[in-house]
Amino acid sequence: MKLHQTADGFSIQFGPDALLRHSVEHPMLFLGIGRENIRMYRGNFDIKDNLEEKIPLRAFELREDENGWTAIFRNHDEKLSYTLTFRPDGDLLRVQGRCSDIRYNRIWLRIPARKDEFVYGGGEQFSCLNLRGKKFPIWCREQGVGRNKKTLTTALADLYGSAGGDYHTTFFPQPTFISSRHYFCHLENYDYSELNFESGDFHEIHVWNTAVELALRSAESYAGLLYGLGGLLGRQQMLPEWAYRGAWLGVQGGTEICREKLRKMLGRGAKISALWAQDWEGVRMTSFGKRLQWDWRWDETLYPGLPEQIREWNKSGVRFLGYINPYLAQGGQLFQAAAEKRYLVLNGRDEIDLVDCGEFNCGIVDFTNPEAFSWYKDVIKRNLIGIGFSGWMADFGEYLPADCRLYSGESALTLHNKWPALWAKANYEALEETGNAGKIIPFMRSGAAGSQKYSALMWAGDQNVDWSLDDGLASVITAALSAGMSGCGLHTSDIGGYTTLYRMHRTKELFLRWTEFCMFTPVMRTHEGNRPNDNWQFDSDGETMEHFAWATRIHALLFPYLRALDQINHERSLPVMRPLFLQYEDDVRAHETMYEYLLGPDLLVAPVYLEGETSRELYLPRDSWVSLWDGIPYPGGSVSVGAPIGRPPVFYRAKSGFAGLFRQIAEEGPFSGASSGG
């Protein structure tokens, strides 16, 4: 760390560049007073801040000690002061701030920017890969339906349920960004915050707290930055080998239906590594569609003989996966047990704080209560692991009201963003305590800083069953890449999307294209959606079954490559799905390319994400590329390729150590149509 002082300011250099800068004319620090108003409806939040005051602190005084530097900032009359300390901590620069006046509860910190700078991260972002030009509130919530205020879908979702969302709404926001100037900045606070990249001259971090902590690090490459970020936040565990051996088939309806659908797909030559049945604990029908009982107990009527059947499936190499979330439906046995023990989050009247989860109310297990935390781990151990599950969708985590009362006495406003990490920790510890870590996979949609070390796999949540850029197939590509630049390098999605509303329905074309995308991701998994009868499914006709079976075989052949990438992600936090610029840092076009990605260093995938397209205009970084399906070489640059269904644009590096594997995949060939009917 180097400090450079001038007559009217100073800068802090950490690495080759000045990461922090202050002057009387351009202060780095503002304090304010605000009064928030937060309303939640089914995990969607209306957040307003009544800002009463915002004051720049221009005057400063610098002090040096053996640990680093301290800057004391003051306003014009010197009645208000704020202290920032700058301390090297190994490869990190830690910045800590404290205010002298407890009336102030808002802070804005500015970091110098360049107009040609690119910025990535922010957690899992669905609409933006490069964050420049926009502001990103960091608040865990439902992602929203449509996620674009200019669309009819979003307008209808807002009208009928305040559920439309926007470009920034996400299950997994994280106050972290990585700059093309080769540094990252991470806000350690879980408070509501905003990352604001609207200015060309500075990045602004706004926090609803004046006690703040930042961690910054420089490195020579993006790979070095991600390695450092993984060291700070935690590294993901590896998936068990079975996860890559075929698709995870999403089915519902009971033991016999699961058996029949599995038999049908295996008969088509499909590689199936798991059956995923979210309704293992019963079905609840609402106006939204097919929901679950939320009592997390085996429904023996719907799934007779399930434990014995799971053992039979395991013998044949097929695992069984279920579903759970951290909420308990009012009226259920687990809700009653938790209520009697006072294990549920309370409201200001010392009553259970019931949350509307979509035409039924639920209580929230209070993870700040050690006894409640342990009790819910026991539910997982007994009711899921005990039956023989090899994994489950660990859903939700976003619905903690900002004004509820917690056992620990901590502010729910502060813990709201941390809640998904606590939920991930409960799942992780249940596995560790039963000796199943690395064998069983909970996959999660919500996340927070720190989820990385507890959650091995993230899934993208509830996309629309449509082609929209902000909430359809395209948005999942962006989500995977932004999550990877935030320390979560293993990502998957519902093939075909989930949310089926406002006359939407999943078409055959969308299902086939989403399948072709997911066969080149870490995990292939289907979902019927909230209204299965309105959606095209993997077994809706013979051609779809043949196409899906073909895709599962391609995915299974990728096992040694995906396994190697998983190892790298675990050791170095280099994501499996990577933006092009991660490998080609000096290529400006690589930084600007959003709907292509590298699967590891050696495969470039350009999914078809627009309806009706049978060709793709795409960009290949300067290298020696080979088209996967026909072996045609490409030197790089802008290319136009044919992309009919069954032949998604995929290229491999000619010099790859896995070139032999990729040629073997090419021998399986592109898909050319069904070999048999209905």
| CA atoms within a 13 Å half-sphere pointing along the CA-CB vector of 622 | 5
| CA atoms within a 13 Å half-sphere pointing along the CA-CB vector of 126 | 32
The three-point CA angle 265-266-270 to 5° equals 75
Tokens 């790859």 belong to residue:
656
Identify whether the C-beta of residue 391 lies closer than 8 Å to the C-beta of residue 407: no
Where are the extended beta strands (E) located within 8-105? Answer: 9-13, 18-23, 29-41, 44-56, 59-65, 68-74, 81-89, 92-99
Give the count of beta carbons closer than 10 Å to the beta carbon of residue 35. 11
What are the residue numbers of the active site?
395, 398, 462
The three-point CA angle 125-126-130 to 5° equals 60
Give the count of beta carbons closer than 10 Å to the beta carbon of residue 653. 21
Residue 48 exposed, middle or buried by CB count within 10 Å (0-12, 13-18, 19+): exposed
Residue 452: phi, psi to the nearest 5?
A: -55, -45
Identify whether the C-beta of residue 213 lies closer than 8 Å to the C-beta of residue 175: no
| DSSP per-residue string spanning 293-317 | --S-S--TTTSTTHHHHHHHHHHTT
Give the count of beta carbons closer than 10 Å to the beta carbon of residue 297. 15
Helices (H), 170-305: 222-233, 255-267
The three-point CA angle 198-228-180 to 5° equals 35
The C-alpha atoms of residue 80 and residue 109 are separated, in whole angstroms, by 16
